[in-house]
Amino acid sequence: MRITGWLVALAFALAVLGCTSVSSIADESKQPPNILWIITDDHRSDSLAVFNRYATGRDESPLGFVMSPRLDALAAEGVFYPNAYCNSPACAPSRASMHTGKYPHRNGIYGFRRSHHSADVSSELVQAVMKNHGYQPAHFGKSGVRIFPIDKINQWEPAGHYNPRVTKRSLHESDGSDFWFNSPWGEVDGKGMVIGTEEVYRYPDGSVKRFWRERKDQPLTEDDLAKRKAIEEELDILRTYTRRNPNLIIGGVSSNTTWNTMDAATVKAMQRYLDHGGSQPYTLIDGKTQAAGPDPEKPVFIHLGFSAPHTPVLPSKEFRDKFMGKTYKVPAFDERELELLPETLQQMHNDMNFSRMTDAEKQQAIRDYYALCAMVDHLAGAAADSFKAYSEKHGRDYLIVYVNGDHGWHLGEQGIEAKFGPWRQSNQGSVIVVSSDKEKYPPGTVYDGLIEYVDFVPTFYDAANISTSAHPGLDGFSLRQIASGEAVQRDYVIGEFNQVRGERAYLRTKDFAFSMRARPYFTKPGEGYEPGERTMWGLEAPAEEVEMSLYDLRVDPDERVNVAYHAPYAELAGFFRDKLGRIVLGDGRVEVDWTQENTYHVSDFAPGAHDRKLDIPEGVVPEPQLPSAYSDLLSAE
C-alpha cells in the first residue's frame, strides 16, 4: 500500500509530497496520552474537501459544493485514512463492532437489538479495558451501543464504565438543545406504554413550540395538525418519502442558533467536564446531575458522539445560509438498475426511493445535508481545540481519532436516500488520526490502503501501551502499525447486517464489490430460529436464493450494473461467495439469543478463512464486459 504525504498551505490546498514513513517505535517510558474519539453519524466522506481532493483532485463533492475547513486542517495535522470501511451499515451494529473491536459475525451483534455481558461469548468493551488500565472514560452525546448488563437490559442502563455519561437524551432535554422527540409514557388500552411522539423545537429566546406527531391514546386534534403545519412552513421542513418511516426530517433549518443545537450541547458538555479538572464537582449540562471533573494526574479517554448529520437534518441558519443558492448534481439513477438487483435489494430501494421526491426537494435534501455537515465540521474543530488545550495545560500527550461517519449515507445513489445497503455509499467512511507525537502520526500524511472500523480499539491500546491480550479476540490492527507496514495489509474489507431486509454480508476489494444473503432468515437468533440453525445455507443454497450482487469497480465505480448473474462473471461471483461465506459463517461465527442469559452457538468449520488475502485463481477474473443492454447506464447523466 502507498503512504503519501500532503502538506496543507491553506485548509483546502493539499499537495502530494511523496512517501513518508511512520515510526513503529513505542516509547513505554512516556506517560499514556489523553485520547479523544469523535464519531459522527450517517456522514458521507465527500462532505470533506480533504477527501474530495484525495479522490478527484477537487474540493467539491461529485454532487457539488461542500465546506469543511476545520476537519481539513485537522487532517493536515496527522494521518488521513480515506479508504475506511464500517463493518455494518447501521448505527447500532457498526458502533458495537467499533467498541468491541470485533466483526458482527464474531460479536454476535447484527442489527438493532439489545445485547448483554452475561453470555460466555459476550465481547469486552474498549471503555472497560481503558478504565482497568488507569484511564478515566467519559462519554458525551450519542453512544448507539446497545450492550447492557443483563439485569438492566430492559432499562437500557449501561455497565457504568463511563463517568460521566452524558447521553443524547439528557442533551436533548437540556435548555441548550434545539430539537428533540418527546415520547411520554401513559396508559393505552390499560397498558403502560408510549402514548405517542411529540416534536419539540426550542428557540433562542427560550421559548418552545411543540406538536403531537402521532398519538396512540387518542386521535390527533385540529390544533396538533395546525401547529405542525405552521412549524413545518416556518422551518422549511422536508420529510422523507420512505415507506418505512415517512416522518424522517431530511431538510429544514434549526429553530435555534449554531451553539444552541443538540450537537453543540455535546461539545459544551465535554468542555464543561474538561474545565473542571482536578476532580472538582460540578453540575452537568442537564442542570441536575452532579459529577466530578477529570483528575489531571490520570489520562482521559473521551468518547464524543455527534448525532448529526443523521436525521433530523436541521442545520442552523448560520450554516444553511452559506449553502443557499447552490445547485447540486443529483446522482444518476435509472429504473433499469433495479432489473439486475435481487428481490431484497429491490425491496430496499422501494422502502427508501429518492425518486418520489420532486427536483426541488432533491436539491433541498442534498443542500441541507451538506450544510449540516459543515456545521458538524465547525463543532468538531472546536471539540478538538478544547481537548488539545486541556492536554497541553496539564503536560500530557494526546491522540485524537476522528471517524467521519459510523457508516455512510446515500443522496440518490442507487436511487435511495438512506443507508443499510451493501454499496460504497453505505459502507465507506474516512478517518483522521492526530497525535502530539508527530513521529507516530506524521502531519500531512495520507494512507490510501484499506482500513476497517475494527481497527480503532487496537489503535487506542497501541497509543496507551496496553497489551491486546487484555482484550481477547480483536479483529483489527493499530492504525499506526497499518500505516507503517507492521500490520497485515488487507486485500479486502468485510461487513454484515441483519435489519430492514434480512441478513446480508458484503466483501469489498479495490476492483470489486460483492454481497450475498448469508442466512435465510429475516429475523435474528431467538426470534424465529435457534442460534446456529442452518448455518451452511449461504454456501449450499442455489445461487439465485442467496441473492448475490457483484459490481466491477474497474468500469462501474458507482455500482449501477449488478453482474453477479452475468455469465462472464459467474465463476468470479462463485469465488467471492465461497470466500465470504466461509468467513462469516465458518470462521468463528457467533450467534446468540440475547433474550436468554447464555444461549449461543459458535460455528468454526472454516478456521483461518479470514486471511485478508484474495488469491483469486488465474483465469477467474474476466475482462470487463457488462451486459450490453445496460452498458449505456455508465455514461448516463
Q: Which domain holds residue 536?
A: 493-635
Higher per-residue pLDDT: 566 or 17: 566
Is the model's pLDDT at 434 over the cut of 70?
yes
Could you tell me if residue 159 is inside a domain? Answer: yes
pLDDT at 157: 66
Same domain, 141 and 190: no
What are the cell numbers at 423?
Answer: 454499496
Q: Is the peptide bond before 443 cis (omega within 30 degrees of 0)?
A: no
How many other CB atoms sit within 10 Å of the CB of residue 417? Answer: 25
pLDDT at 21: 31
In sequence order, what DSSP letters do the residues of 583-617 get, joined into one string?
HHHHSSEEEE-TTSSS-EEEE-SSTT---S---PP
Could you tell me if residue 351 is inside a domain? Answer: yes
pLDDT at 74: 98
Find the angle CA(401)-CA(406)-CA(80) to the nearest 5 degrees.
Answer: 40
- 40-55, pLDDT tens digit by residue? 999 999 999 999 999 9
Task: Tell me the CA end-to-end span of the chain in Å, nearest whole number.
Answer: 33
CATH of the domain at 45: 3.40.720.10
Could you tell me if residue 173 is inside a domain? Answer: no
* Element (DSSP H or E) covering residue 31: none
- Give the chain's largest Cα–Cα span: 70
- Give the pLDDT band (50/70/90) at residue 58: very high
- 594-636, pLDDT tens digit by residue? 899 999 999 999 999 999 999 999 999 999 999 988 988 886 5
Is the model's pLDDT at 326 over the cut of 60?
yes
pLDDT at 602: 97
Same domain, 42 and 145: yes
Could you tell me if residue 240 is inside a domain? Answer: yes
Ramachandran region, residue 603 (left: φ > 0; alpha: ψ -120 to 50; beta: rest): beta
Ramachandran region, residue 242 (left: φ > 0; alpha: ψ -120 to 50; beta: rest): beta
Q: Measured between alpha carbons, how far is residue 171 from residues 86, 202, 302, 400 in Å?
A: 26, 13, 17, 23
Strands 493-498, 34-39: parallel, antiparallel or unpaired by DSSP?
unpaired
What are the cell numbers at 402?
Answer: 476522528
Please state the rounded mean pLDDT for residues 185-210: 89
CA distance 384 to 382: 5
CA distance 168 to 166: 7
pLDDT at 292: 86
Is the model's pLDDT at 532 over the cut of 50?
yes
Same domain, 351 and 218: no
Give the least confident one: 42-56, 87-101, 317-331.
87-101
Last residue of a domain, one of 428, 452, 484: 484
* Element (DSSP H or E) covering residue 65: none
Query: The dihedral of CA 91, 95, 98, 102: what is its sign?
Result: negative
pLDDT at 278: 81
Question: Amino acid letter at 97?
Answer: S
Last residue of a domain, one of 218, 253, 288: 253
CA distance 427 to 632: 26
CA distance 521 to 349: 19
Residue 265: strand, helix, or coil = helix
- 477-504, pLDDT tens digit by residue? 999 999 999 998 999 999 999 877 888 9
Q: Where are the alpha helices (DSSP H) in 469-569?
A: 479-484, 537-540
Strands (E), 11-123: 13-19, 34-39, 79-85, 115-116
Please state the rounded mean pLDDT for residues 339-355: 90
CA distance 336 to 562: 11
Please state the rounded mean pLDDT for residues 509-535: 93
- Give the pLDDT band (50/70/90) at residue 23: very low
Is the model's pLDDT at 17 over the cut of 60?
no
Could you tell me if residue 172 is inside a domain? Answer: no
Is the model's pLDDT at 419 over the cut of 70?
yes
- Give the pLDDT band (50/70/90) at residue 4: low
pLDDT at 154: 66
Same domain, 94 and 144: yes
Please state the rounded mean pLDDT for residues 529-549: 96
Of the chain, the percentage scoring pLDDT greater than 90 comes to 74
Residue-averaged pLDDT of the chain: 90
Could you tell me if residue 279 is inside a domain? Answer: yes
Strands (E), 419-560: 428-435, 445-447, 451-452, 493-498, 503-508, 512-516, 549-552
pLDDT at 243: 67
Same domain, 61 and 98: yes
Contact 299, 236 (CB under 8 A): no
Could you tell me if residue 174 is inside a domain? Answer: no
Same domain, 284 and 157: yes
Please state the rounded mean pLDDT for residues 18-39: 64
- Give the pLDDT band (50/70/90) at residue 16: very low
Could you tell me if residue 77 is inside a domain? Answer: yes
- Give the pLDDT band (50/70/90) at residue 10: very low
Print burial letters for 251-280: b (CB count within 10 Å at least 16), e (below 16). bbbbbbebbbbbbbbbbbbbbbbbebbeee
In sequence order, what DSSP letters do the residues of 196-209 get, joined into one string?
EEEEEEE-TTS-EE
How many domains are there within the chain? 3
Contact 34, 84 (CB under 8 A): no
* Element (DSSP H or E) covering residue 135: none
Residue 475: strand, helix, or coil = coil
What are the cell numbers at 605?
Answer: 468449520
CA distance 408 to 430: 10
Is the model's pLDDT at 383 over the cut of 90?
yes
Same domain, 20 and 101: yes
- Give the pLDDT band (50/70/90) at residue 228: very high
Same domain, 35 and 155: yes
Who's near 148: CB < 8 A, 6+ residues apart? Answer: 114, 115, 116, 117, 155, 156, 157, 158, 159
- 240-299, pLDDT tens digit by residue? 876 667 889 999 999 999 999 999 999 999 999 999 988 778 888 877 777 889 999 999
Same domain, 457 and 526: no
The residue count for the chain: 637
CA distance 96 to 107: 8
Of the chain, the percentage scoring pLDDT greater than 70 comes to 93
Same domain, 325 and 425: yes
Same domain, 159 and 297: yes
Q: Measured between alpha carbons, how far is residue 375 from residues 122, 202, 259, 425, 611 in Å?
A: 37, 18, 10, 21, 40
Please state the rounded mean pLDDT for residues 570-592: 97
Same domain, 369 and 434: yes
Q: Measured between alpha carbons, how far is residue 290 from residues 73, 240, 284, 360, 577 in Å?
A: 36, 39, 6, 48, 54
Last residue of a domain, one of 484, 517, 548: 484
How many other CB atoms sit within 10 Å of the CB of residue 208? Answer: 10
